[in-house]
Every structure is written in C-alpha cells, then in structure tokens.
Structure 1
Amino acid sequence: MTPTAPETRSVVVEREFAFPPAKLWRALTQPHLMEAWLMKNDFQPVVGHGFKLTGEWGGVLDCEVLAVEPEKILSYSWDFANDDPAYSLKSVVTFTLTPTGSGTHLRMEQAGFRPDQKQALAGAVAGWGEMFGKLEQVLAQGD
C-alpha cells in the first residue's frame, strides 16, 4: 500500500492590470523591480537557477526556478525553514499571464500549504494582496 500525500491548500490571487504582458513580465523577472514589490533577491529567469528572497523582517526563502515561458508562465519553489513546523513552508508559486483587450490578466497561485498551516495560509492571502498593490505601483512608475 502506498502512503498518500497530505492534502495541501493553495492561495490564488487574480488581478487585471492595464499594462501589456511584456511590462508585467519585466516586473516579475527583473531583480530591481522584484525588490520594489516583492523582496530583495538574486533572481534570474532561468530554469534550475537557485535564488534567495530576503524579507524586510529578515527571513530568507530558498527558491528555485521551475518554469519560464516569457510573458506567459513563471514558476518557482518557495521554501521557508523555521523552527516552528507550522511556519516552515515548502510551496510552489506560479504566475500565469494572459493578454486581454485592456492589458494583462495575472493569476498567481502559491500551492503547498498543509492543513495545519492555517495562519501561514491567511498570512499569504494578506501578503499577496499587499504585494499585488505594490506591483501595481511599480508598473505605474514605469521601468
């Protein structure tokens, strides 16, 4: 008998941006722009590239680029180790860009929250909402 993996949950945030996919893609993949809306990083949009995201609170996430389809899909692992298992998180963040008549529809999914991580899940919902607000500001400012 094969053990089954525990059920996990996801956070999904979707938003319409009045900017073309190319502009949104730059904000998702250029380190200086990512820092302005997400976190400090040493990101490169290359599958297999390991990078770190450093939060203002001092936490460091170990990440690896999993998929890159320019102006369409960006996916990376998002691993945060903590002494408290309820806060340790191994997840995958995937951005999907879809052109629309007035700009780009952006869908972000962070998958991998265990059932015992309700507080981390709620924090991610709030955090991504805040980050998408910052992303909107970065896009409005230009490159």
Structure 2
Amino acid sequence: MTMQATETRAVIVERDICHPPEKLWRALTQPHLIEEWLMKNDFKPVVGHSFNLRGDWGGVLDCKVLAIEPNKTLSYTWNFAHEDAAFNLESVVTFTLTPTRTGTHLRVEQTGFQPNQKQAYGGAHAGWKQFFDKLDQVVARTE
C-alpha cells in the first residue's frame, strides 16, 4: 500500500489518574476548570456547540463539540488558522475515560496532523503531557 499525501498522523497520550471518571469529567467539561489546566474558553458540553480555546501565547483555537458521552467520551474539533498555511491545523481531539481499580485511565487522541507538520505534531505530544500534569493537579484539589 502506498502512502497518500492525505494520510494524517495522530498524537496519543495516556495516563492513569487516581480519581474516579466523574471527577475527571468535571475538569474536562466545566469552563472554569478547563481554564485551569488547558486554556481560557467558552465551552459548553453540548454537541454542536462552537467555542474557542484562547492560549496565553495569543493564539485562538476554533472548536466544535462533536460527541459527548458523560464520564466516558468527549470529542471536539481543534482548529488553528495561521497566516503561514504550513501552521494551519485542522484536527479532532478525543478524550476517553475508562474506570480502573484505582481511578481512571485517561486517553487523549488528537488526529489530523499532516506529514509535513512535524513541529505541530511534536508540540502537541509535549503539550498534552503538560496539560495532563496540570489536569492531575486540578482534579486533586477539586471536590
């Protein structure tokens, strides 16, 4: 099978977090908590809701909720328009929560990286690990 130019790559980061899915779900879907670990936002947990994620670096991501299954799955578009087309990103982020004996197995998959977007791909890989570190701290201190 030959590789097509349209073939995209995915970043997958997984972590076991010692809190139940319900607690983690709140941090993934409540705007004030999302802001603490990810970015400023106007998120609503409603399929079809369009929202922005605003980074400290001044960038704005255009997002739209694609799927919600409470305490299990959350999926939304994660699109970034840049004046340099090489940095444009049209991707989808999907969080999957699986209960474990000790808490929750959290998996994030971000799909849609073009083969030439090595910098964005690497940045996303490092970024999700940092986001998960913050998420862990936010969940630990919320009741």
Q: Report the TM-score when normalising by structure 1.
A: 0.96
Query: What is the correspondence of 1:64-143 to structure 2 with a 5 Å cutoff?
Result: 64-143=64-143
Query: What is the correspondence of 1:29-44 to structure 2 with a 5 Å cutoff?
Result: 29-44=29-44
Superposition RMSD on alpha carbons, in Å?
1.0
1:15-74 CA deviation, whole Å, 9 max, x = no partner? 000000000000000000000000000000100000000000010000000000000000
1:11 alignment partner AA: V
1:107 alignment partner AA: R
Aligned to 2:55: 55
Aligned mates of 2:140, 2:79 — CA distance in 1: 30
Identity of aligned residues (%): 67
Deviation at 1:11, TM superposition (A): 0.4
Contact 1:86 1:120 in 2 (8 A): no
Contact 1:27 1:139 in 2 (8 A): yes
Deviation at 1:87, TM superposition (A): 1.1
Aligned length: 140
Aligned mates of 2:5, 2:74 — CA distance in 1: 25
With 33-42 and 80-89 compared, the bigger mean Cα shift is at: 80-89
Aligned mates of 1:97, 1:139 — CA distance in 2: 14
4+ runs deviating over 3 angstroms: none
Aligned mates of 1:128, 1:86 — CA distance in 2: 21
Aligned mates of 1:105, 1:83 — CA distance in 2: 37
Deviation at 1:86, TM superposition (A): 1.9
Q: Report the TM-score when normalising by structure 2.
A: 0.96
Gaps of 5+ in 1: none
Deviation at 1:5, TM superposition (A): 6.7
